[in-house]
Amino acid sequence: MKSAQWQADLQQIRHLRLFNNVAASSINQLLKEFRACDLDAGEVLLSPFNRNQYLYLLLKGQFKVYLGSLDNQPVSTLKMGDCAGEVSFIDNEHPCAYVVASEPSSVLRLHRESLLNLFQQSPQLMHNLLELLCERVRQGNRLILDSEQNANIDTLTGSFNRRWLEHVFERESTRCAFNQQPLCMLMLDVDHFKAYNDQHGHLAGDYALCLVAHTLRNQLRPKDSLVRFGGEEFVIVLPELADEEGRRIGERLRQSLQQITSFYSPLGVLPGVTVSIGLAQLHANDSLHSLIARADSALYQAKQQGRNCLC
């Protein structure tokens, strides 16, 4: 980061969010404390390894924000008028993210002591900074929520993944036991999936798996959970249902796929697929592992009986 020449421009400064509705006299006093700096593309402005004493206002260019490592995808972009470093500037701790110039950029740098003194003279300035901090916190909460949701979702089919299965089984089995309600599990396997891939290609197989997930998901209740267990296997958790009702639902799902003899995809028209299904009802002392084992055993029987059936 290199020092740069900058001509103080009150009109330009007043358009920055930090100085919204701040008295001109307060801004003029603060302008004397600003230091302008230029950064090259790829230059790191903030790092978790270096304590930060400054608030930065982006005048020109663009910054990318990275969490954890610079090898990760950026989580947000800072543009002209945005602030950087306000959290570590306030608490005087190390930054929690990397902020990197993605193109040649210019910033105004302000030492924390200069702004803290001005807070006493301009409550509006403090208000503006608190708004920026609240926005940053909300953005962080959204990132946490998005990452949690993404961690539970199979990216190909949009179904839940095995990580979610462990969570939902713990929740639903406890709830059903407390309310003295049954719980069923269906384990499904796409029939002859290897042959389907060999004949039509792996991309076609991916589209077939998406078809299966979409068809099943549209027929389930909000409280049911469709999980891609691995490869061409799916698991469905059916809370509050005993085996007879579970069998009825499983048969309906199986028949709905059997009726789709072909479907449209970006590759053109592809043949549909069928599924074999194993059903197991939760017992009093069942763990997730033991329930899956019984559902898997029933699935094996369905395959032995010729596939495209439920046991």
Label residue 46 left, alpha or beta by phi (over 0 means left) and psi (-120 to 50 means alpha).
beta
Residues tagged active-site:
232
C-beta of residue 270 within 8 angstroms of C-beta of residue 208? yes
Three-state SS annotation for the chain:
CEECCCCCCHHHHHCCHHHCCCCHHHHHHHHCCCEEEEECCCCEEECCCCCCCEEEEEEECCEEEECCCCCCCCCEEECCCCEECHHHHHHCCCCCCEEEECCCEEEEEEEHHHHHHHHCCCHHHHHHHHHHHHHHHHHHHHHHHHHHHHHCECCCCCCECHHHHHHHHHHHHHHHHHCCCCEEEEEEEECCHHHHHHHHCHHHHHHHHHHHHHHHHCCCCCCCEEEEEECCEEEEEEECCCHHHHHHHHHHHHHHHHCCCEEEECCEEEECCCEEEEEEECCCCCCHHHHHHHHHHHHHHHHHCCCCCEC
Contacting residues for 229 by C-beta, under 8 A, at least 6 apart: 162, 165, 187, 235
C-beta of residue 55 within 8 angstroms of C-beta of residue 85? yes
